[in-house]
Amino acid sequence: MKTTEEIFTILKNNFGDAILELVTSQPVEHFIKVNPIEINKVCLFLRENEELLFDSLMNLSGVDDANGQKSADEDGTQIISGGTLSVFYHLESTKLRHKLTLKVSTDREKPEVASVESTWRHADWHEREAYDLLGIIFLNHPDLRRILMPYDWDAGYPLRKDYKNPEFYQGMKVPY
Amino acid sequence: MIYDFFFKLTGSNFLADVIQSLLPLFIFILPFALFAVLFERKVSAHMQDRLGPMRVGYHGILQTIADILKLIQKEDIIPTLADKPLFNIAPVLVFAGSYAAFAAIPFSSAFIGSNIDLGVIFIIAASGFVVAGILMAGWSSNNKYSLLGAMRSAAQIISYEIPTVLVVLSIIMITGTTNLLTLSEMQTGHFWNWMIFGGPQMGLAKFIFIPIMIINFVIIYISTLAEVNRTPFDIPEAESELVSGYHTEYSGMKFAMFFLSEYANMFAVSAIVTALFLGGYQSPVGYLGNLFGAHWLIPIEQFFWFTAKGIFFVFVQMWLRWTLPRLRVDQLMALCWKYLIPIAFVNLLIIGLITVL
Amino acid sequence: MSITIEKNKAERKPGLRTEEMVLNMGPQHPSTHGVLRLELELEGEIIINAIPHIGYLHRCFEKHAEAMNYSQVIPYTDRMDYLASMYNEFGYAIAVEKLLGIQVPERVEYIRVIMGELQRIASHLVALGTYAVDIGAFTPFLFCFRDREKILSLFEQTCGARLLYNYIWVGGLSHDLHPDFVNQTNEFIKYFRPKIKELNDLLTKNKIFIDRTANVGVLPLDVAINYGISGPNLRGSGFKWDIRKDDPYSVYNKFDFDIPVGEGLMGKVGDCWDRYYVRILEMEESLKIIEQAVNNLPEGDVTSAIPKRIKPPVGQVYSRVENPRGELGYFIISDGSINPFRVKVKGPSFVHLGVLNEILKGHMIADVIAILGSIDIVLGEVDR
């Protein structure tokens, strides 16, 4: 069993700059911020390292941080420009019984995160979901398609805070 | 006898023929199907801790009639891309196949649709006819589920005809006849003269025959069950896999024809098993007609015994259906080719040897 | 997935050529347990590739949750896994309580556990019953539903609803128990124990059922963990892992119960039969828990700890519970307002469906149904 602080030290020694910071300011959960492009290497290390053995990805969730420039268009809808989108990784080791939370933040205009699909196949559908609902592009994902929304949905990503329902989808009126 | 009666009544060969051939349909198949559908629903309901239909008539006895009325009124939907001629012929063909089988079934000593010498062979041939209809239905529906169901059905019916025929063959070797009326007459007397107990002959041969015939009986019962696509062999319909197989696309009366032929078939195979193994229309214990000296009573009693035995086996079919899960296609084929056919062959060989000696 | 198809095509010998048939199973199909579409590539009846398409029931629960305050989310959680609504509320309530840092009275915890375990039995009964129908046996299905009805009546008596309860609230419960609840639950336990045996006699030990399910759809343990499989499916693969024991929440550490695992009694470990049988054994364990909880029920008030205004501090929490189907996780981010900033649900069904292609390859169409039934998905939760 290792605490987040100990794991942070191990990761810092191995990856250096790719590990950004350890966030302990919030109650309940502490997490480690990681560089989005290096996350796949970090995760592979976390799974393979004898002391860590994070063999299970509990959850992967994308979040719209809504921390950019906020403005309103003519009919009052919020538009956010700039800021970040984040992905949280909740890991667990079923052998060593410890848990870890990782966070990556990526640019909202060009949201690119390395895929951890090859480390945990579990991430496959969760990454597709994050792509579908938030528009986060997972680099090297083998099959990055929409999953919950229709394949031909072109009105944006619903979970973004500034998402606006389209008037029509395939000729059908959407707000009913 | 019946034929003579109608001949006297109408004075014409042709009319007598027509009436006699329609008789099983109207006095037996239709009422039986009506009865069997309700019976099945009630049997299944009581096996499953529920009541089944209760609203139409007393305890729902008019439910099937209501269903038939509904089916008649339903729109007859033909899929746009279906092969229309085949799609329309298929239910008729299936129904004709199962109806034709009734022609040679001896309901009693006085009433057999057609007393042909090749009775058993005719029934097997006629029920093989059903395959063509099912394949047509599956192919012409232009639906992949239907097609899969039809292919499964064809494979299944053809495979299971082999053990059926092998068992029938062994009966023919013992009795030397393929006429079902003669076969039933041979099993007269009491139940120990039935074929399942070694047939009418006495002595050592009978004791050797008894276990073999019981095994044969089980084989033919299983394989006829498979031929009429009932659970555990209902893979062509398999509603949880193939929606409902070859009759997925049918509606209204065409669906009703498939439905009707299923129940007709159920009785037909039970009738064959009865006629071959359980003395046909013969009473197990003797006749009231003989007791009272009223000989006209005997054919009626025989009819009663025959339908009673038939319905008992129909009941067993339902019992199995509501108890057992469904086999998979490969397991079904393995059962047929690896177990039933070899055992049937061995039985045939032993019976052949004994009859030669 | 596209890579595997190419490989299959390349391996084929020249000469006589056959084409795969593409069969769309669903979204309207009796055995997909909802509106799931499986795109099956077949060679004869053998599956060479299976692609699930989901989203037909998508309501964007997560977007809804962002627009409501914390207690308004609870009825929406009911509608995700509609066969285990109690447990969805349970998980959500625990997550928000962690965020708030509040302790709930012991009576509330006990009642939550009782309700959760009754829900587990009800949910497993549906899983087992529909599995029997998938395999072709209709009678066990109705037997299971008959028994589930008794549990639903208990729920109805407690909170007035039979399917979507809105019973477990943040910090407490909406109502206290009915005065006769303890009696009736004890009666149910007495009634239900022999019924498990009946189900075993009718279905579990049936030769045809074993033939259909043993050695079919084997899910190896390493694959299962890598795919994030949890709950009875993971235990069916032989891994003794249950969040109720391994990461206890509520008052589960006060009860004595076992964690059944698949042992490969009829075939390989991790086949459909093992997954099925683990559920049967789990029902008995749940009965044990209910029995202990119902007879040691503490006195107290169930609504005293419900906060008037739920306004958690800025922070985030990932909290998980052992839903009847597996690990149900809620990831909640709070920005300090009365509405959650982000609610992400990790539903077990969603995760389990992802492994389908892996175990379907090389099986027959009839096995698709057997395997899909054995992993027991609820489409309401897959699509959320």
Which residue among C3, C226, C383 sits closest to A148, beta carbon to beta carbon?
C383
Tell me which amino acid residue C218 is. Answer: V
Element (H, E) at C161: none
Distance from CA of C23 to the nearest CA of B (A): 7
Architecture of domain A4-173: 2-Layer Sandwich (3.30)
Looking at domain C70-320, its CATH superfamily turns out to be Cytochrome-c3 Hydrogenase, chain B (1.10.645.10)
Question: Which 3-state string (H, E, C) describes C100-142?
Answer: HCCCCCHHHHHHHHHHHHHHHHHHHHHHHHHHHHHHCCCHHHH
Helix (H) or strand (E) holding B75: none
* Residue C7 predicted with pLDDT over 50: no
Tokens of C182: 């303890």
The per-residue pLDDT of chain A, averaged, comes to: 82
pLDDT band at C10 (very low <50, low <70, confident <90, very high): very low
Chains A and C touch each other (3 or more Cβ pairs < 8 A): yes
| The pLDDT of residue C76 is above 80 | yes
Per-residue pLDDT, B2 = 62
| Selection from B244, A121, B88 nearest residue C220 by Cα | A121
Listed residue (C381, C384, C382, C379) closest to C28, CA to CA = C379
Please say if the pLDDT value at position C185 is more than 70. Answer: yes
The alpha carbon dihedral of C78, C371, B246, C17 has a sign of positive
C235 contact A CB<8A: no
Contacts of C18 (CB under 8 A, 6+ apart): C43
Residue of C33, C37, C128, C138 best to disrupt the B interface, most CBs of B under 10 A: C138
pLDDT in the model for residue C6: 45
> What is the 3-state secondary structure of chain A?
CCCHHHHHHHHHHHHHHHEEEEECCCCCCCEEEECCCCHHHHHHHHHHCCCCCCCEEEEEEEEECCCCEEEECCCCCEEEECCEEEEEEEEECCCCCCEEEEEEEEECCCCEEECCCCCCCCHHHHHHHHHHHHCCEEECCCCCCCCCCCCCCCCCCCCCCCCCCCCEECCEECCC
Chain C: residue whose CA lies nearest to A93: C225
Q: Return all residues near A48 (Cβ < 8 A) that are at least 6 apart.
A: none
State the nearest Cα–Cα gap between B82 and chain C, in angstroms. Answer: 18
- Cβ distance B243 to C30 less than 8 Å, yes or no, reads yes
Is C382 buried (19+), middle (13-18) or exposed (0-12) by CB count in 10 A? buried
Quote the pLDDT of residue A109.
82
CA distances from C138 to C34, C130, C192 (A): 18, 9, 20
Q: Interhelix angle for B2-10 vs B13-23, to 10°? A: 130
Residue C4 has pLDDT above 60, yes or no: no
Tokens found for residue C40? 């099956």
Q: What is the pLDDT of residue C18?
A: 65
pLDDT at B7 over 50: yes
What is the model's pLDDT at position B202?
66
Q: Which of B48, B231, B326 sits opposite C142 (nearest CB)?
A: B48
The two structure tokens encoding residue B288: 């009231």
**What are the backbone dihedrals phi and psi of residue B352, each rounded to the nearest 5 degrees, phi first?**
-60, -45
Q: Give the integer Cα–Cα distance in Å for B344 and C248.
A: 60
Q: CA B238, CA C197: separation in Å to the nearest integer? A: 27
User: pLDDT averaged over chain C?
Assistant: 84
Residue B17 pLDDT more than 80?
A: no
How many angstroms separate the CA atoms of C151 and C154, rounded? Answer: 5
Pick the range with the lowest mean pLDDT from B106-115, C147-156, C375-384.
B106-115
A contact chains, 3+ CB pairs < 8 A? C
- Residues within 8 A of C (CB atoms), B 63-122 only: none
What's residue C165's pLDDT? 87
Helical H segments across B74-104, by residue range = 84-101
Q: Give the pLDDT mean for A15-36.
A: 78
Give per-residue pLDDT as tens, C86-134.
888 888 998 888 888 888 888 888 888 998 899 999 999 998 888 888 8
- Count, residues in chain B: 357
Q: Taking Cα atoms as reference points, which of B218, B216, B190, B210 lies closest to residue B279?
A: B190
Give the 3-state secondary structure of residue C176. Answer: coil
Q: Is any Cβ of chain A less than 8 angstroms from the Cβ of C313? A: yes
User: What is the rounded CA–CA span in Å between residue B11 and residue C328?
Assistant: 82
pLDDT, mean of residues A97-116:
85
Cβ–Cβ gap A64/C327 under 8 Å? no
Q: Please list every residue in chain C whose beta carbon sits closer than 8 Å to the beta carbon of residue A143.
A: 1-2
CB distance B355 to B173 below 8 Å: yes
**DSSP assigned state of C304:** T
Residue C212 has its nearest CB partner, among B234, B243, B328, at B328
User: In which residue are the tokens 């013992």 written?
Assistant: B174
The domain segmentation of chain B, as residue ranges, is 78-356
Q: Which helix (H) or strand (E) holds C260?
A: none
pLDDT of residue B56: 82
As a whole number of angstroms, the distance between CA C333 and CA C318 comes to 9
Q: Which residue of C has its CA nearest to A101?
A: C318
Long-range contacts of C156-159 (CB under 8 A, 24+ apart): C157/C181, C157/C184, C158/C115
For residue C1, list chain A residues with Cβ-Cβ distance below 8 A.
Answer: 142-143
Residues in chain B closer than 8 A to C23 (CB atoms): 144-145, 148
| C347 in contact with chain A, both atoms CB, cutoff 8 A | no
Q: Which helix (H) or strand (E) is B187 found in, with range?
A: none
By Cβ distance, the residue of C30, C136, C203 closest to B231 is: C136
Mean pLDDT of B260-273: 84
Residue C3's pLDDT band (cuts 50, 70, 90):
very low
* pLDDT attached to residue B1: 57
pLDDT > 90 in chain B, percent: 0
Q: Are the Cβ atoms of C246 and A97 closer than 8 angstroms?
A: yes
Helix (H) or strand (E) holding C254: none
pLDDT at B192 over 80: no
* Residue A63 CB contacts under 8 Å (≥ 6 apart), including other chains: A85, A86, A87, A88, A134, C333, C341, C342, C344
In terms of residues, how long is chain C? 384
Higher pLDDT: C183 or B183? It is: C183
Give the mean pLDDT of A57-86. Answer: 79
- State the amino acid at position B250 in one-letter form: Y
C3 contact partners, CB below 8 Å, separation of at least 6 = A142
- Strand bridging mode A31-34 / A99-107: parallel
* Measured distance CA(A4)–CA(A90) in Å, rounded: 12
Mean pLDDT of C306-331: 86
